[in-house]
């Protein structure tokens, strides 16, 4: 009988954000796939989890995914974790989940920590409808994508490196307008968590003068909907329509 693949979120900052179920699953599975075994060892030791660890990251996942699939088909229960947050969200995980799903293997993803949702909800911007863009392309396709997003009316969510934050905010100001509202969340769930809100141009100046550190989530307000003129049928302009 085939085993299962469990996709297990891990804390993005505070170790206390680990769920009871996540700990139970990691203690029960036969194999834990980790993005960085050294980073994950700290978390596992904290919760007295002694499962077998194997490296699974973006540089080797194409080589290891078939082997992992065969092990699950052979009866092993396997858990996938990332360094922080939910695997598959700007972290390795998609390829393994797709391969197992296509093979008919049961894939269970546990609810848990991710950086984008707390940053979005804390921003004060509408979060009933939003678009997650993750990390922008560094070169090819970046300009085209930004041009296409200029008219996006939903709240937009981006991940960014602190080393590229100012440049990205300045580009956003150029493509979306300097007065477009944004919120930059830094170090979600950690001791020095910070949320800097304001116009794109203002926030860019702030971080140019105050060097950012840690994990960054940028939330940008959507564009104002374009109002269209109402088209009247014949006779309606004079109040004759029904």
Could you tell me the two tokens for 155? 């709240």
> Does residue 235 lie in a domain region?
no
- Answer yes or no: do 93 and 125 share one domain: no
- Answer yes or no: do 125 and 80 share one domain: no
> Does residue 174 lie in a domain region?
yes
The predicted structure's pLDDT at residue 123: 97
What is the rounded average pLDDT of the residues 94-103? 95
pLDDT band at 92 (very low <50, low <70, confident <90, very high): confident
> Does residue 165 lie in a domain region?
yes
Tell me the residue length of the chain: 242
- Answer yes or no: do 105 and 124 share one domain: no
Domains contained in the chain, number: 2
Give per-residue pLDDT as tens, 112-124.
999 999 999 999 9
Determine what percent of the chain is predicted with pLDDT higher than 90.
Answer: 83
- Answer yes or no: do 77 and 162 share one domain: no
Strand segments, DSSP code E, in 151-207 are 155-160, 181-186, 194-199
Which CATH number belongs to the domain containing residue 185 in this structure?
3.30.950.10
- Answer yes or no: do 21 and 45 share one domain: yes
Q: Nearest CA to 108 among 117, 120, 100, 116?
A: 100
- Answer yes or no: do 146 and 97 share one domain: no
- pLDDT > 60? residue 237: no
- Answer yes or no: do 158 and 195 share one domain: yes
> Does residue 192 lie in a domain region?
yes
Question: Beta strand pairing status for 155-160 and 216-220?
Answer: antiparallel
- Answer yes or no: do 103 and 148 share one domain: no
> Does residue 241 lie in a domain region?
no
37, exposed or middle or buried, with CB in 10 Å at 0-12, 13-18, 19+? middle
What is the rounded average pLDDT of the residues 23-49? 95
Residue 106 DSSP one-character state: E
- Answer yes or no: do 152 and 176 share one domain: yes
- Answer yes or no: do 94 and 130 share one domain: no
Give per-residue pLDDT as tens, 202-235.
999 999 999 999 999 999 999 998 776 666 555 5
> Does residue 214 lie in a domain region?
yes
Cα distance between residue 94 and residue 112, in whole Å: 17
- pLDDT > 70? residue 12: yes
- pLDDT > 80? residue 91: yes
- pLDDT > 80? residue 238: no
Give per-residue pLDDT as tens, 150-197.
999 999 999 999 999 999 999 999 999 999 999 999 999 999 999 999
Cβ atoms of residues 187 and 214 within 8 Å: yes
Cβ atoms of residues 214 and 162 within 8 Å: yes
Question: Domain residues for 132?
Answer: 116-220
Give per-residue pLDDT as tens, 41-78.
999 999 999 989 999 988 888 888 999 999 999 999 99
The predicted structure's pLDDT at residue 143: 95
The predicted structure's pLDDT at residue 57: 85
> Does residue 239 lie in a domain region?
no
The predicted structure's pLDDT at residue 232: 59
- For residue 208, give Cα distances in angstroms to 136, 145, 166, 215: 20, 24, 6, 17
> Does residue 209 lie in a domain region?
yes
């Amino acid at each position: 009988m085939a085993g299962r693949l469990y996709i297990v979120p891990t804390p993005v900052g505070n170790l206390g954000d680990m769920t009871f179920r996540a700990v139970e699953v990691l203690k029960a599975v036969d194999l834990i796939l980790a993005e960085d075994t050294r980073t994950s060892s700290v978390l596992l030791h904290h919760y007295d989890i002694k499962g077998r660890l194997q490296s699974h990251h973006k540089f080797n996942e194409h080589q290891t995914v078939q082997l992992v699939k065969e092990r699950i088909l052979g009866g092993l229960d396997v858990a996938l974790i990332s360094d922080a947050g939910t695997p598959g969200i700007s972290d390795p995980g998609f390829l393994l989940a797709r391969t197992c799903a296509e093979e008919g293997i049961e894939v269970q993803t546990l609810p848990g920590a991710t950086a984008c949702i707390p940053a979005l909800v804390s921003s004060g911007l509408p979060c009933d409808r939003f678009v997650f863009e993750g990390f922008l392309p560094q070169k090819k396709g970046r300009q085209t994508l930004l041009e296409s997003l200029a008219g996006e009316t939903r709240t937009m969510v981006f991940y960014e490196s602190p080393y590229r934050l100012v440049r990205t905010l300045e580009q956003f100001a150029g493509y979306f307008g300097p007065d477009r509202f944004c919120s930059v969340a830094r170090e979600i769930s950690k001791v020095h968590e910070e949320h800097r809100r304001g116009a794109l141009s203002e926030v860019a100046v702030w971080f140019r003068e105050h060097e950012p550190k840690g994990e960054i989530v940028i939330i940008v307000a959507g564009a104002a909907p374009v109002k269209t003129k109402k088209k009247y049928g014949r006779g309606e302009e004079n109040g004759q329509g029904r």
